[in-house]
Amino acid sequence: MAINPFSGIVNSNFKTIFNNAISSMLDSTACTVACTLKYGVTKYDSCSNCIYDPIGKKSSNRFLNGGSIPFPFGGICPLCNGAGKRPVESSEAVNLMVIFDPKQFMDIGTPVDTAGGMIQTMGKKEMTPKMQRANQIVVSTDISGFFSHVYQRVSEPTPMGLGNNEFVICMWKRI
């Protein structure tokens, strides 16, 4: 019976080396790119152009002194369209490793539509709640003056690692 020459090499030291190597690639100055995670509408702020009616829970359709767009008394506020509140979208700047080439994707069981402009992102496991909340990502925000890469999340963040799930991978489709 032949002895497996690789038997016993995957031990705690090997796993530590693996985790350290991947972690070093995920540092903000290594193989990551600046990205913006977009969470969508997370709250509503009062309109800065009209007086809010708390009883009717909408605009009173009266101009607020100091507002940016005057409108006639009884008219509809042009800034909030009479809602009295304006949606506020929130986002957060993060650094993630982005894999653009589908041939280099790590298999996480999500079908890959190579013609659809898919990307895969990788981050440390602490990124999991942020990726779960995000519905879109803007990749390479440091060169956004030239073009914009906006993607929609198509998979749940998937933990991965060498026996301990220190990292998380997520799939995105270009929109």
Distance of CA 18 to the CA centre of its chain: 26
- CA dist 23 and 15 (Å) reads 12
Domains of the chain (ranges, CATH numbers): 27-41+89-174 (2.30.110), 48-83 (no CATH)
Greater confidence, 172 or 162? Answer: 172
pLDDT at site 136: 96
pLDDT at site 128: 95
pLDDT at site 77: 93
Q: Indicate the SS3 state at residue 133.
A: helix
- pLDDT tens-digit map of 136-159: 999 986 665 667 789 999 999 999
Residue 156 carries which side chain, given as an amino acid letter?
E
User: Which segments of the chain are extended strands (E)?
Assistant: 33-46, 50-53, 58-63, 85-99, 118-124, 136-139, 149-153, 158-160, 167-174
Does the pLDDT value for residue 112 go beyond 70?
A: no
- pLDDT tens-digit map of 49-92: 999 999 999 999 899 998 989 999 888 999 999 999 999 999 99
Instruction: Count other Cβ atoms within 10 Å, centred on residue 129.
Output: 11
- pLDDT tens-digit map of 9-49: 888 888 888 888 988 999 888 889 999 999 999 899 999 99
| Token digits of residue 109 | 């069981």
pLDDT at site 104: 84
Whole-model pTM: value is 0.75
Greater confidence, 143 or 168? Answer: 168
